[in-house]
Amino acid sequence: MISFFQKIGESILDDIRSVGKFSLVAFNFLKKLYTAPPRFRIILDQLYEIGYKSLPVVAITGAFTGMVLAVQSYYQFHQISMETAIGILIGLSMTNELGPVLTALMVAGRVGASMAAQLGTMKVTEQIDALNTLAVDPVSYLVAPRLIAGIFMIPILTVFSIFIGILGGYFISVELLQINKTFFVNNMLDFTGVMDFLNGLTKSVVFALIIIIISCYKGIIADDGAEGVGKATTEAVVFSCISILISDFFLSIILT
């Protein structure tokens, strides 16, 4: 019995140490943005990797999210003759919640896994140690460009996802379900304000920080060869997605 509680206590202490270590590393990542700015060419490469290559998955996710919202809400609102409110639902849902959250989840799955795998491979093959030997700061060279590119591109991807989602919902509602176009557009514009859009952008910036910091952290601390890289990649995606959902809850309370 004593051994059981001892193991629980040790596990809790390990978790506390991990949180403390992660906090220190995350602070160091952010500090390097000001103390040692990365080279512009490296940032451009990451802008392409994070932004352009993520467009297809973000477009598909946003479009079908808007279309599913239109179809599902139509059958519910049709029972109470409120079909014209579909535009309001799609506008508010895409700008405040679904656009930022689903975009971040898709980017975490595609970009976060890639970053953790790349940095993890560099760690286990001692390439990061080689950078230290050459007096090159690994954080400034590897992490800072990804952080800057993520903060810049993920909000842009979120705007793109919102636009595509609303466009998909409009197409299904007006062209397929024969909802009056004027009512759809006017209701959506009347109830979806600039603050809703800004709330979504604020969330996307926070999600970008979460994805990049967690993914880079998991990659840099990877060990035990190929198995360790696979574990780091899995943990990067899982922890990023969980953190996105938890932070979304608190951000929704704060920004409401």
Residue 36's pLDDT band (boundaries 50, 70, 90)?
A: low
pLDDT of 155-196, one tens digit each?
999 999 999 999 999 999 888 888 888 888 888 888 888 898
Helices (H), the chain: 2-35, 40-50, 55-77, 86-93, 99-107, 113-124, 127-133, 138, 144-170, 181-191, 194-220, 225-255
> For 72-97, what is the mean pLDDT?
84
CA distance 103 to 184: 24
Q: Could you tell me how many residues make up the chain?
A: 256
Task: Tell me whether residue 149 is exposed, middle or buried, using C-beta atoms within 10 angstroms of its C-beta: 0 to 12, 13 to 18, 19 or more.
Answer: buried
118 vs 82: which has the higher pLDDT: 118
Q: What is the pLDDT of residue 85?
A: 82
pLDDT bin (cut points 50, 70, 90) of residue 8 is low
pTM: 0.88
State pLDDT tens for residues 53-82: 999 999 999 999 999 999 988 888 777 777
Q: Which of 223, 221, 249, 218 is nearest to 97 (CA)?
A: 249
- 72: tokens are 């599902």
- 87, pLDDT greater than 90: no
Q: Return the domain boundaries, the chain.
A: 38-255
DSSP state of 38: P
User: Quick check: 229 and 85 in contact, CB under 8 A?
Assistant: no
Res. 17: pLDDT tops 80: no
Q: By C-alpha distance, which of 244, 152, 133 is closest to 201?
A: 152
Which tokens is 169 given? Answer: 């919902």
CA 28 to chain centre: 21
Q: How much is the pLDDT for 230?
A: 87
